Amino acid sequence: MTEADDFAVNGLCVRLGGREVVRDVSFSLPRGCIAAMVGPSGAGKTTLLRALAGLVPSRGRILIGGEDVGRMPVRRRARHLAYVPQGEAVHWPLPVQDVVALGRYPHGSADPRRLGAGDIEAVDRALDEVELRPMKDRRVTELSGGERRRVAIARALSTGAPILLADEPIASLDPYFQLSVMALLQRQARAGALVIVVTHDIGLAARFADQILMLRDGHLAAMGPPNAVLAPPSLAEVFSIDAYRSSHEAQPVLVPWAMR
């Protein structure tokens, strides 16, 4: 791993409402990796992801290739980091294609109706990735919750940022699209991106992620490959569960099975 590829977080802390929600989190990840951030509800996963995106005030340092993200101009930072929020509300009846085209704003394309050839190609490619090209002219307010999630993912992909932060991207999706989106994120990583995804689905995390970041009470309780971090002692201590383990087609199968 070279410094140019490194995404490093050093001593990150976030205080909200007088309470420290994220406490002294440090880790480093290379591009070409998909990392799943897991942990019980209230562990600080969403707050940490928002801090990485620069959306909440934090202490500590976030570095891309040794450069402090906090000192980057906003538009430049947006070209490095794309963010998919959790449960994003939709208020304007814009066509799907126009919403996805908003991802090109960091590149100077402020008007979805006046995109350059490269912008149009990026938008079309993102729509194809989430299987929404046939719906590109539909108003986003007419879509189901799961379809809107895929629009949000496509908007982030259209940015072309080398680092993708996704908060519960498979929430509200049926099993087909849960698998489709996780496979898409894995493809993005294999193509050279760094993907950090928050998920409650430890089974899909075990199958698709290269690294697991396990949070508990605002701190990083464990980090490493899925088979090491999602081991019985950690699942018992952090999640208070036992899990069924097996393999299928040379891939791990992990199913939450019983409360402890």
- Sketch out the chain's domains with CATH numbers: 3-259 (3.40.50.300)
Largest CA distance in the chain: 57
Q: Show contacts of 217-221: CB within 8 Å, 24+ apart.
A: 217/23, 217/43, 217/44, 218/20, 218/21, 218/22, 218/23, 218/43, 218/44, 219/22, 219/23, 219/24, 219/25, 219/44, 220/25, 220/26, 220/27, 221/39
Structural tokens at position 108: 């100077």
Give dist(CA 35, CA 189) in Å, integer: 9
Helix 145-159 / helix 175-190 crossing angle, nearest 10 deg: 10
| CA 143 centroid distance within chain | 22
Question: Which residues, 6 or more positions from 253, have their beta carbon under 8 angstroms from its beta carbon?
Answer: 203, 206, 207, 244, 245, 246, 247
CA 194 – CA 104 distance, rounded (Å):
19
Each residue's pLDDT, cut to its tens digit, for the chain (260 residues) gives 344 458 999 999 999 999 999 999 999 999 999 999 999 999 999 999 999 999 999 999 999 999 999 899 999 999 999 999 987 777 889 999 999 999 999 998 777 778 899 999 999 999 999 999 999 999 999 999 889 999 999 999 999 999 999 999 998 899 999 999 999 999 999 999 999 999 999 999 999 999 999 999 999 999 999 999 999 999 999 999 999 999 999 999 999 999 99
Which ranges of the chain does DSSP label H, i.e. alpha helix? 45-52, 74-80, 96-101, 117-129, 145-159, 175-190, 202-208, 226-229, 232-234
What totals of helices (H) and strands (E) does the chain contain, helices first?
A: 9, 12
